[in-house]
């Protein structure tokens, strides 16, 4: 694991309160990568990533799902709409919570979704409350990742799944690549990035059986080409200077994360682990 000391919860909360509009303008209704098989549009690619994770986790119709790091609620709504799931979304940002709730109402999904503003490392749920714990690109922001996996495994009922997509540090990095990962952590407000092997071990330590551990890097890295180009096209630096200058380092690191994926310093992982019956 590569750590970036000093990243605080209040910084992450403020980032998402302020940057959600940037994300929406730059990327769309999902705050996560797209998954490309060919030349799909970014919107289709984002939906494909959600759908691939749902298929890997065998999300059944009517499942009860907790979406940790739900952002604006894009994946929560898609699970509710396509799989008739009952989804509880958790975000650290009160702005995102309001956005997600309003969007669910607008799409006629209020009865199948609810959204909470809470710290994922502090939120409490009953043991066995959910068929699936779902998290796309949130665990990067957690301080104690192994403890979160342990706690979240308790929320899964027997036979249920934990499904996670995460930014990862690559294995066996030299000093230059470690610096690339550190720079991403600093600019993207991640206290640390772990390896694929570490995530799998945490899941096993929590009593889960790892079913899927895949590297999706080559299918998702186009995300950052598109975001980088849109930053320039839409003159987002000027907006950042007016709204919140702290967002400038965030925008600057779009090229850094793309370079880190291409060099092998970073990977993008998909993990599904199941609780034994």
- Tokens 């027997």 found at: 158
The mean pLDDT of 58-84, rounded to a whole number, is: 97
Q: Is the pLDDT of residue 26 over 80?
A: no
Q: What is the mean pLDDT of residues 251-255?
A: 79
pTM above 0.95, yes or no: no
Read off the pLDDT of residues 128-147 as tens digits, 9 standing for 90 and up.
999 999 999 999 999 999 99
End-to-end CA distance of the chain: 31
Q: What is the mean pLDDT of residues 152-173?
A: 97
CATH at 38: 3.40.50.150
CA-based R_g, the chain, Å? 17
Domain that includes residue 104, residue range: 2-274
Q: Is pLDDT at 42 greater than 50 in this prediction?
A: yes
- More confident site: 247 or 258: 258
The SS3 assignment for 257 reads: helix
- Between residues 244 and 113, which one has the greater pLDDT? 113
Q: What pLDDT shows up at residue 242?
A: 47
The span from the CA of 52 to the CA of 50, in Å, is 6
User: Is the CB of residue 231 less than 8 Å from the CB of residue 22?
Assistant: no
Asked whether the predicted pLDDT for residue 233 surpasses 60, the reply is: yes
Mean of pLDDT values over 270-274 = 98
Q: Is it the case that residue 52 has pLDDT exceeding 80?
A: yes
Least confident range from 126-140, 144-158, 228-242: namely 228-242
How many distinct structural domains can be found in the chain?
Answer: 1
């Amino acid at each position: 694991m590569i750590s970036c000391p000093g990243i605080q919860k209040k910084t992450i909360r403020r980032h998402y309160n302020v940057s959600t509009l940037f994300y929406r303008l730059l990327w769309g209704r999902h705050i996560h990568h797209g998954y490309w098989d060919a030349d799909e549009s970014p919107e289709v690619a984002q939906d494909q990533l959600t759908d691939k994770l749902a298929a890997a986790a065998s999300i059944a119709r009517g499942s009860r799902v907790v979406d940790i790091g739900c952002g604006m609620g894009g994946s929560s709504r898609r699970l509710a709409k396509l799989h008739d799931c009952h989804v509880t979304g958790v975000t650290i940002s009160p702005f995102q919570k309001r956005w997600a709730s309003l969007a669910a109402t607008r799409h006629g999904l209020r009865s199948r979704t609810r959204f909470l503003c809470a710290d994922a490392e502090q939120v409490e749920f009953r043991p066995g409350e959910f068929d699936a714990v779902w998290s796309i690109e949130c665990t990067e922001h957690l301080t104690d990742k192994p403890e979160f996996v342990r706690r979240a495994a308790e929320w899964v009922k027997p036979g249920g799944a934990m499904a996670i997509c995460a930014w990862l540090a690559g294995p066996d990095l030299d000093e230059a690549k470690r610096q690339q990962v550190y720079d991403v952590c600093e600019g993207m407000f991640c206290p640390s990035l772990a390896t694929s092997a570490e995530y799998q071990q945490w899941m096993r330590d929590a009593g889960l059986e790892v079913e899927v551990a895949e590297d999706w890097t080559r299918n998702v890295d186009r995300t950052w080409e598109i975001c980088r180009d849109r930053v320039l096209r839409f003159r987002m630096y000027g907006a950042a200077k007016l709204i919140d200058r702290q967002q400038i380092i965030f925008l600057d690191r779009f090229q850094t994360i793309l370079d880190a994926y291409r060099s092998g310093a970073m990977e993008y992982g998909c993990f599904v682990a199941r609780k034994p019956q």
